[in-house]
Amino acid sequence: MASGIGYRGTNRCFPLWEDFQQCFFSSQEKTRADCVPAREDYLECLHHFKAIARVRTIQAVERDNYNKSKANGTDHKIISLSAPGGGGGSS
């Protein structure tokens, strides 16, 4: 990532990269442990690891609730998290 500016303008994660880079080069520690939060923010922006894990956790709870309600004979619908306003779930 040389400049952070591409065909469509500035990359959404470039400001986080700049923060991490500034921390990295100004750090007095050899391990640069003080830059771990900036690094995690940048990597989360790129890959969405935490957001994906959170959605998977929510979906697992929804599946469990659906299975329990099906066993109890109550009506619980699964919420679709794949697309906003994407047409509900199954019953």
Residue range 2-11, pLDDT digits in tens = 567 777 788 8
Q: What are the start-end ranges of the E strands in the chain?
A: 5-6, 9-10
Summarize pLDDT for 25-78 with one digit per residue, the tens.
999 888 899 999 999 999 999 999 999 999 999 999 988 888 888 888 777 666
What is this structure's pTM? Answer: 0.66
Higher pLDDT, 27 or 79: 27
CA-to-CA separations, 77 to 21, 61, 86, in angstroms, rounded: 46, 12, 14
The pLDDT score that the predictor gives to residue 82 is 65
Residue 91's pLDDT band (cuts 50, 70, 90): very low
The Cα–Cα gap between 61 and 78 comes to 10
